[in-house]
Structure formats: C-alpha cells, structure tokens
Amino acid sequence: MAPEQHPEEMHGGVLSDGGNPGLWGALIGLIIFVFIAVPASAAIKYATHPNSQQLFGGRLSEATTGGYVAFWWIVAIMLIALPFLVGFAIAKMSARTIIVVAAIVILFVIAVVILGQLFVF
C-alpha cells in the first residue's frame, strides 16, 4: 500500500512567524508609494508643463526651461524609484544592501541639489 500523501498546508504571509521577506518588502514599498503618490504626480505635472514655471515666481521664473524640466523629471524619477528601493532593501535586509540603497538615495539627493543650484536658483 502506498503511503498516503497529505496536501501541504499553506503557511507564511506577511504577518505570520516573521513572514516572507519579499512580502514585507512589497508591503513597505506599497506604503511608501502611497505617501509619495501626490508629490510624484505634482513633480510629473511640473515636468510636463513648463509654463508652470511662472507659478513659482522670483528667480525660478528666470531659470531656463530645459533646466526647470530636467530638475522636475529627476525629482519625479527619484520619488517613483523610492518605494522600489526601500522595498528591495527591506526584502534583502543585509547590511550591504542597505548601504547600497542608501548610497543610491544620497546620490539622487546630491544630483537634485546640484541641478537645483545650476538651473533653478
């Protein structure tokens, strides 16, 4: 007689016994995306409508259109990439991964500050 095989019960999920790191990363990434959805859509709006440059007045209205658009596209890309980077860092949760993700975020911030100084201010 063949041994009887029982279907394996499904265990896991985000909230049980430590959960799956990939699911934790996806959940945290989704939460981060919810928080940055409005700023990201605003950055895309500013990048695709160069006439919005006059809304800011002052020196920003005197900046070149190309610099203004490039600045807002970089901000939009950074904001959209943030949930993926945070989710990946949480899923891997190693010191090396967190250092790499932190370095990428720092490079994005430095690029935005430099472009802001060159083209906007």
Q: What is the 3-state secondary structure (H, E, C) of 58-71?
A: HHHHHCCHHHHHHH
* Residues of the chain predicted below pLDDT 50: 12
pLDDT at residue number 100: 83
State the pLDDT at residue 60: 66
Separation between Cα atoms, residue 109 and residue 104, nearest integer Å:
9
How much is the pLDDT for 59? 65
pLDDT at site 22: 81
Residue 4's pLDDT is: 64
Q: What is the token pair recorded at 109? A: 């911030």
Tell me the whole-structure pTM to 2 decimals. Answer: 0.67
Query: What does the domain layout of the chain look like in residue ranges?
Result: 21-120
State the pLDDT at residue 108: 81
What are the distances in angstroms from CA 43 to CA 2, 38, 64, 68?
Answer: 64, 9, 17, 11
How does pLDDT run across 53-80, given as a tens digit for each residue? Answer: 777 766 666 777 888 888 888 889 988 9
For residue 65, the model assigns a pLDDT of 81
